[in-house]
Structure 1
Amino acid sequence: MTPSDELPIDAQLPAIRQALVDHNRALLVAEPGAGKTTRVPLALLNEAWCRGEHGEGRLLLLEPRRVAARLAAGFMAESLGEPVGQTVGYRMRGESRVGPDTRLEVVTQGVLTRMLQDDPLLEGVSGIVFDEFHERSLEADLGLALALDAQSVRDDLRLLVMSATLDVEALLGVLGSETPLIESQGRSFPVQTHYRPLGSRSNSRLGSRDDAAVQQAGAVVEALSMSEGDALVFLPGVAEIRRLARELASRQPELAIRELHGRLPLEEQRRALKPEPDGRRRVVLATAIAESSVTVDGVRIVIDAGQERVPVFQPRSGLSRLETRRVNRASADQRRGRAGRQGPGLCLRLWAEEQPLPAHGEPEMLQADLAPLAFELARWGIVEPAGLAWITPPPAGALAAGRRLLQRLGLMDEGFLLTELGRACVRWPTHPRLAAMLTRAGELDAEPLACALVATLEGRDLVDEQDLERTLQACLAQPAARRQWQREAQRLARIGGVRLEVETLAPLGELLALAYPDRVAQRIHHDAGPGRFRLASGGLATLPERHPLAHAELLVAADLDGQASGARIFRGVAIERARLEALFPETGEWRASLEWSEEQGRLIGEQVRGLGAVVLERRPLASLPPEAVREALLEALRRRGELPFDDSAEQLRGRVALLRRELGSGRDREDWPDWSLPALMEELEAWLGPHLDGIKSLDALSRLPLERYLLDSLDWSLRSRLDALAPERLEVPSGSRIRLDYMPCLEGRAPVLAVKLQEVFGWRESPRIADGRVAVLLHLLSPARRPLQVTADLASFWANGYPEVRREMRGRYPKHPWPEDPLTAVATARTKPRP
């Protein structure tokens, strides 16, 4: 190795090796450019613990993205002078290049979960390296939790978690405080950073989306004039990439404009990563796929739009919605660093320098559909998630929603374990919805069609196609023109043991209904015209009036934008009523249906038969069953999205929110419940349902003692400590017992004590609660009870702020004490100190 080949991580390799000799877990924090992804796994291959008894030990390197996995494997194989598939190989969904001599497998994160589920002891695997763990994908969190569980039986299995940025304290809380931590500097050149906030409108004739592309194109042209080298532009999604590509092509046709995102075929991804053979300057328009792991050769310029697009799951609607958000500060710094990988660089940030950014991104665990996680936990045999070690435990509401879906699909029983159908779905490497469809397709004699349909629904290169039936027909007619689709459909057919020969699309609607029973939709006959539908889940969905399906009586929506009310349907297929009734026998059962009418202010009841909120037939209801009344009231509350809490209930929620935040929840921590509004809405049946007997209106419900119901639901061991940890009142030096305000704790802030300044003379420091973890925010009041100072640092106020307050107030309130030394003065609630 020549000096120029050396990377910063090389100096830390001995420490990493020794850490994994002495321990079976380690953390590595290495800045971008350190070389951790390709240097560390190769350095571990020849360690005694990794070779195994007969030299057969394997090492797994987890990468968050497919393109990163392929590139890392290729680079390491090349450094050994070998092709991929010998010592170093890779494995991902639908693609594998490993051989009998492969000892280092680069795998995507979902592959690890399947490997662990198939072989919980990971026989033959000596260690697992989690790369880029800071991205906190759902699969990475689950993979680490399962690997730690496996390690409790196999203590010779080594785990190394590494990233450019890590929440070290949180990880050590899971891995153990004795886990060694190794840190490495990165290799980077200086990067000049400039801020160019985009104006709200640069051309009044253009729509806002095109206007943004015009301004972004101007920033790209400016950056290219300021620095040498190629440019990498970070944008939130494919639509923005394509708009900017069109604008740049019209302005600067001499540029090579390349896209880089997950929908592209592998060949185009590789092409985007390498400089142009003819030497033209290139501009790479990328999503967050280029943020880490991947090095884009030749880039000396980064233009960052400062946004990212993330799917956010909403347990109430059971849908995920794509949200465009401000990028977090850690990601922005990662993006900036891309300009300094191979030489001095330039970064243009398209926002104002004073624009605040969140420090870190939210773990996917907190914003994802947890049905796949619930399925994997059930397969692992875990009923209570606290049985595993989580950095971020699964949110109760989202996990409950995932379990309800699995039960609706028939994959999970009431005890949260897999049914016979659920176990049959294990073989399919796809979402449980689609696995249920693939497994049950034989009931319709439509296994080949199901394989083709799943490949169409999941095809990265087909997501822009909105006519699902026509897209599927085109794929089946010319499969060679859709190679990615063809590979996936054939792979699923091999797993299912069928030939990919589709004779008819007739069962298409039924297949979709097997996967999406909650998205069966019925047209609403309304004066507003066609295109309005009610989903079986209860929500509303719409299609453009001119859409071919706008007049369909029944359809199944495969893609929705996630809005709980008025969701847009992107892809769907019509289904006949007779086929729906044959597919779901429960549609023949009559049931009582009650709904709260906001217009009439009362419950409206009838008997119906159908699928959820899709009603196929109605008839009058003679009486109102108590169970139906209770459920109707609960559903009315869910739709309103609020609960009639009085001040005492809100204060109680704030107290518990504070203790949950400070003292925690889950494994090895006090299990303070989540009483946020979304969590309580998800658990209405459990904590409020039993108290609704005899209640028939929302007005009567608002008079119920909700504070007492919440207290009754609190575990006795926690309830007995509540007053000591978060007291309702605090005694101040004057002897008064003053009520604390815990409402700010519902928003993550400290509790407030509003008290006259004279009553806290003698208090040297701000009072603390929650086992001394939280300083109370003091609102120090004048004799007229107007705020004089807000502080959580009373000692600093006495030393620095009080002299000025005393100077101003002693003349205004001469009957009240304003001593020079408040620390030795007698506190009083009166106008004069007591003798």
Structure 2
Amino acid sequence: MSALPIDQHLDSIKAVLASSNRLMLIAQPGAGKTTRVPLSLLTVDWAKGQKLLLLEPRRVAARLAASFMSQQLGEPVGQTVGYRMRGDSCVSAQTRLEVVTQGVLTRMLQDDPLLEGVAGIIFDEFHERSVDADVGLALALDVQASIRDDLRLLVMSATLDVDALKRILGDQVPVIECHGRQYPVVTAYRPGLSGESDANHTLRVVNEALAMPGTQDVLVILPGVAEINRVVAALNSAMPLMAVRPLHGRMSIAEQQAALAPSASQQRIIVSTAITESSITVDGMNVVIDGGLERVPLFHPRSGLTRLTTRRINRASADQRRGRAGRQREGACFRLWAQEQTLAPYGEPEIQQADLSAVVLELACWGVSSSEDLRWVTPPPKGAWSSGQALLIQLGVLDQYHKLTPLGARCAKWPVAPRIAAMLERAGDLKALPLACGLAALLEGRETAQSSLADELAQRLRHPKRFPNWQREALRLAKKAGVRISDAVLEPLGPLLALAYPERIGQQLSPGQFRLANGKTATLSLSNTLAHQAYIVAIAINSAANGPVRIVTGESLALASLCSLYPGISQWQSRVEWSQEQGRLVGEEVQAHGSLVIARRPLARLPEEAVKQALLGALRQQPGWLLGDQLQQLRGRMSLLSDNIGAAWPDWSEEALLASLESWLAPYLIGINRLSQIEKLPLGRYLLNTLTWEQQLEFEQLAPLALDVPSGKHIGLDYAPCLSQRPPVLALKLQEAFGWRITPTVANGAVAVMIHLLSPARRPVQVTQDLISFWQNGYPDVRKEMRGRYPKHPWPEDPLAALATSYTKKRGQP
């Protein structure tokens, strides 16, 4: 094997992992980390007789890495080195290095938390930060810290957020850096011409690249299979003598290997997905044509599912692709966009923009109900985590304590989104499992179109071979369920969708207007036959940030089916809500599904706890009733202390107080049913009661309500500015400050008070935090201007020697 930059670090890597169970490896593109490091670790003592797992972010990378390493050993794939991914594996009893996709690790950990027989896990290309990689690392760290301290974890990539990783791996975790092998690369920008198709645009730039002196093989990077097929067809038609080779994850491993194999007689044009952005070195290639797009999984609120979405790449990915052209010789990179095009610097971790319901389900299977129970490189956003939990509770997958239900345990076995899994699990009750498998493949495979979902599904059921991707997934699910897709009938379509989208069941308010179970109001074109149905299920919606929700695709649902699917509707529930129109709390008993009221009757007596919760909910929606002038000064005083003294003092910000209403306000709401009554309560005293007696004394000392001034008065401080991290204000007539040399302070001397010196008309003539400087520099000009305007008031030449007073020159007259 030819030498690679990583080779000189292999002994160091083995030495570190002999004594430490964690290591970060930063190896630049072309270093050879993906294939050299795992093979070298097979020979170390701690791995003997056990397996290593190598995690790859993409299926193609996993297959090709396994194939390349097997070739280095002179073996077929599946002996010493094998691979495993969803729906495809090639391993044997002899396999000691398994190259797996990231989701497979989570499944292996769920099936065997001890990971018996596994000596170490290598996280490759961790910078791509998929949800599966983040979850896998969090679970692996949990296993290592609790029951497998001998399990080695190696995190490696070309770029790593070292500080973020050290926060979870430990400050003392070893870090090894390896330079790559990079030759100079010339960069050119080639945006498309007006009216030019993407395929013709790419073909034009390929021709330019081939005509350039020094061009070897050419790599074209496009977002997906459809784009690859169009460009390959155009290239084959225009260049019949060239070796044009597609490369993507749907190809067999033999086809993928053939695409990468060198050609002795022809120049190659490899047209690939983003798999060639990292992990794979294409021998003989020195020109990259970058389409500038990527297909990534993104959560679509419209459909409630995570789907592959095409978007522009970030700057780091663009640089990574460019570097491919300089792996083995000088090269060139043609970017199919304008140089002025703005690119984001880096890609966001997927966990920050994903639907987390699947993660919540995985961790519930792990026995974790709070994300804070694990260590994360990037913690899951609290809002997305709570939304995921709420959905799983509504689906019946979690109970009210966020624990896994029997249904949830069964749903976790399905390789689909939780809402689809819940539909599949409950489809048997409707005798509709064949239809559910076909529907699941359709919903997970693509965005639903503007046409009827029933029509789309009927087309696939009648002509499955026209839709090979759908057919493949539907058959896979049907095999797992033990049914035949050909037995599917469309009648239970509405009820099946209601099982998957319980929060999107809609009740007609008027033709074309529906209230959804999640509380939102949604509209539907009156030309749509669904606009006149009493109940529907909204499958795809468009929802602007501040605009109305528009239903794009839906199906009708009979009320009898809704009540049968969700028998809890038959139970009468007490519901107390704030009526904006009536300005008070109103109560009734309802039979309901979420926000949809099926039947209602008056409630004779409002339950005390329901009243309390309704009031708290109303206050959170209308905080002005609570956080007005009465609490402003008190909150400002506390803000001053928490900003300048620290964590010893509680957070009394608006957000914190509204979040903690149950603890500081709720006990005092007995007998109250109107918001106007709350204004009359001693809210400040309630807040102060949350402090200990000692804290209250210190609070009054550090943030006093008033200060003594030279005139002898006790003047109040205004702490409202402290809510915006500004100092408190003391406003007094200028004459009352004569002789005052030292600017007063609060918070134990930490903050100088902002002095507003007022004219006799009580308008500010000077604002200062430095009285001495004002008397010396500002006062002469103020005196010159003011003494003619207010001759009855004293304006001495030396204010520091003058007697402070609140009176005019004629004593006794204020």
Which has the higher mean CA deviation after the structures are superposed, 23-32 or 629-638? 629-638
Instruction: Please name the residue that 1:75 is paired with.
Output: 68
Structure 1 residues 314 and 480, CA, compared in 2 at 3 Å: closer, same or farther? Answer: closer
Instruction: Please name the residue that 1:148 is paired with.
Output: 141
Structure 1 residues 589 and 475, CA, compared in 2 at 3 Å: closer, same or farther? Answer: same
**Partner of residue 179 from structure 2, selected from 178, 181, 185:** 185
Distance in 2 between residues matched to 1:690 and 1:133, nearest whole Å: 49
Distance in 1 between residues matched to 2:225 and 2:674, nearest whole Å: 48
| Superposition deviation, residue 70 in structure 1 | 2.7
| Superposition deviation, residue 307 in structure 1 | 8.9
| Superposition deviation, residue 392 in structure 1 | 3.0
Equivalent position amino acid for 1:64 in 2: P
Distance in 1 between residues matched to 2:112 and 2:666, nearest whole Å: 43
| Superposition deviation, residue 14 in structure 1 | 1.6
| Superposition deviation, residue 383 in structure 1 | 4.0
Distance in 2 between residues matched to 1:509 and 1:480, nearest whole Å: 25
Which has the higher mean CA deviation after the structures are superposed, 609-618 or 140-149? 609-618
Correspondence list, 1:622-633, <5 A: 625-632=607-614
Equivalent pair of 2:293/2:310 in contact (CA under 8 Å): no
Distance in 2 between residues matched to 1:408 and 1:440, nearest whole Å: 14
Distance in 2 between residues matched to 1:457 and 1:471, nearest whole Å: 11
Distance in 2 between residues matched to 1:436 and 1:231, nearest whole Å: 43
Instruction: Please name the residue that 1:32 is paired with.
Output: 29
Is 1:61 equivalent to 2:42 in the alignment? no
**What secondary structure does 1:368 align onto?**
coil
Equivalent pair of 2:53/2:121 in contact (CA under 8 Å): yes
**Partner of residue 167 from structure 1, selected from 158, 161, 164:** 161
Instruction: Please name the residue that 1:612 is paired with.
Output: 594
Equivalent pair of 1:656/1:672 in contact (CA under 8 Å): no
Is 1:515 equivalent to 2:500 in the alignment? yes
Q: 1:343-387, CA deviations, whole angstroms, 9 ceiling, x for partnerless residues?
A: 4223648577796955x4443333333322222222222344443
Instruction: Please name the residue that 2:377 is paired with.
Output: 391
Equivalent pair of 2:521/2:549 in contact (CA under 8 Å): yes
| Superposition deviation, residue 166 in structure 1 | 1.5
Q: 1:666-697, CA deviations, whole angstroms, 9 ceiling, x for partnerless residues?
A: xxxx99999895x9888877777666655655
Distance in 2 between residues matched to 1:97 and 1:553, nearest whole Å: 52
Q: 1:630-675, CA deviations, whole angstroms, 9 ceiling, x for partnerless residues?
A: 5555556777899975656876997899899x99xxxxxx999998
Structure 1 residues 388 and 108, CA, compared in 2 at 3 Å: closer, same or farther? Answer: same
Structure 1-normalised TM-score? 0.71
**What secondary structure does 1:427 align onto?**
coil
Equivalent pair of 1:645/1:706 in contact (CA under 8 Å): no
Instruction: Please name the residue that 1:471 is paired with.
Output: 456
**Partner of residue 332 from structure 2, selected from 342, 345, 353:** 345
Instruction: Please name the residue that 1:802 is paired with.
Output: none
Instruction: Please name the residue that 1:554 is paired with.
Output: 535
Structure 1 residues 114 and 30, CA, compared in 2 at 3 Å: closer, same or farther? Answer: same
Structure 1 residues 738 and 9, CA, compared in 2 at 3 Å: closer, same or farther? Answer: farther
Structure 1 residues 197 and 41, CA, compared in 2 at 3 Å: closer, same or farther? Answer: same
**Partner of residue 133 from structure 1, selected from 93, 116, 126:** 126
**What secondary structure does 1:492 align onto?**
helix
**Partner of residue 85 from structure 2, selected from 58, 83, 92:** 92
Equivalent pair of 1:272/1:284 in contact (CA under 8 Å): no
Distance in 1 between residues matched to 2:414 and 2:167, nearest whole Å: 34
Q: 1:500-525, CA deviations, whole angstroms, 9 ceiling, x for partnerless residues?
A: 55242222222222232112122331
Instruction: Please name the residue that 1:667 is paired with.
Output: none
Is 1:573 equivalent to 2:560 in the alignment? no
Equivalent position amino acid for 2:597 in 1: V
Equivalent pair of 2:410/2:425 in contact (CA under 8 Å): yes
| Superposition deviation, residue 92 in structure 1 | 1.8
**What secondary structure does 1:556 align onto?**
strand
Instruction: Please name the residue that 1:488 is paired with.
Output: 473
**What secondary structure does 1:345 align onto?**
strand
**Partner of residue 372 from structure 1, selected from 342, 345, 358:** 358
Structure 2 unmatched ranges of 5 or more:
705-709, 711-716, 731-740, 758-763, 783-797, 803-814
**What secondary structure does 1:37 align onto?**
helix
**What secondary structure does 1:102 align onto?**
coil
Instruction: Please name the residue that 1:583 is paired with.
Output: 565
Q: 1:299-332, CA deviations, whole angstroms, 9 ceiling, x for partnerless residues?
A: 73455758987736889x9888999998655445
| Superposition deviation, residue 280 in structure 1 | 8.9
Instruction: Please name the residue that 1:534 is paired with.
Output: 515
Equivalent pair of 1:94/1:488 in contact (CA under 8 Å): no
Structure 1 residues 318 and 435, CA, compared in 2 at 3 Å: closer, same or farther? Answer: closer
Correspondence list, 1:428-827, <5 A: 428-459=414-445, 467-500=452-485, 502-526=487-511, 530=512, 532-547=513-528, 549-561=530-542, 566-593=548-575, 606-619=588-601, 625-632=607-614, 645=627, 696=673
Equivalent pair of 2:25/2:177 in contact (CA under 8 Å): yes
Alignment coverage as a number of residue pairs: 738
Structure 1 residues 810 and 75, CA, compared in 2 at 3 Å: closer, same or farther? Answer: farther
**Partner of residue 423 from structure 1, selected from 409, 425, 436:** 409
| Superposition deviation, residue 185 in structure 1 | 1.3
Distance in 2 between residues matched to 1:390 and 1:516, nearest whole Å: 30
Distance in 1 between residues matched to 2:10 and 2:46, nearest whole Å: 16
Instruction: Please name the residue that 1:822 is paired with.
Output: none
Distance in 1 between residues matched to 2:308 and 2:688, nearest whole Å: 37
**What secondary structure does 2:487 align onto?**
coil
**What secondary structure does 2:510 align onto?**
coil
Distance in 2 between residues matched to 1:653 and 1:329, nearest whole Å: 44
Equivalent position amino acid for 1:99 in 2: S
**Partner of residue 108 from structure 1, selected from 101, 116, 128:** 101
Equivalent position amino acid for 2:30 in 1: G
| Superposition deviation, residue 174 in structure 1 | 1.6
**What secondary structure does 1:578 align onto?**
helix
Identity %: 46
Equivalent position amino acid for 2:431 in 1: D
Distance in 2 between residues matched to 1:25 and 1:133, nearest whole Å: 15
Equivalent position amino acid for 1:556 in 2: V
Distance in 1 between residues matched to 2:425 and 2:110, nearest whole Å: 19
**What secondary structure does 2:53 align onto?**
strand
| Superposition deviation, residue 338 in structure 1 | 4.1
**What secondary structure does 2:412 align onto?**
helix
| Superposition deviation, residue 87 in structure 1 | 2.4
| Superposition deviation, residue 127 in structure 1 | 1.0
Structure 1 unmatched ranges of 5 or more:
204-209, 664-669, 730-734, 745-750, 770-774, 789-805, 817-829
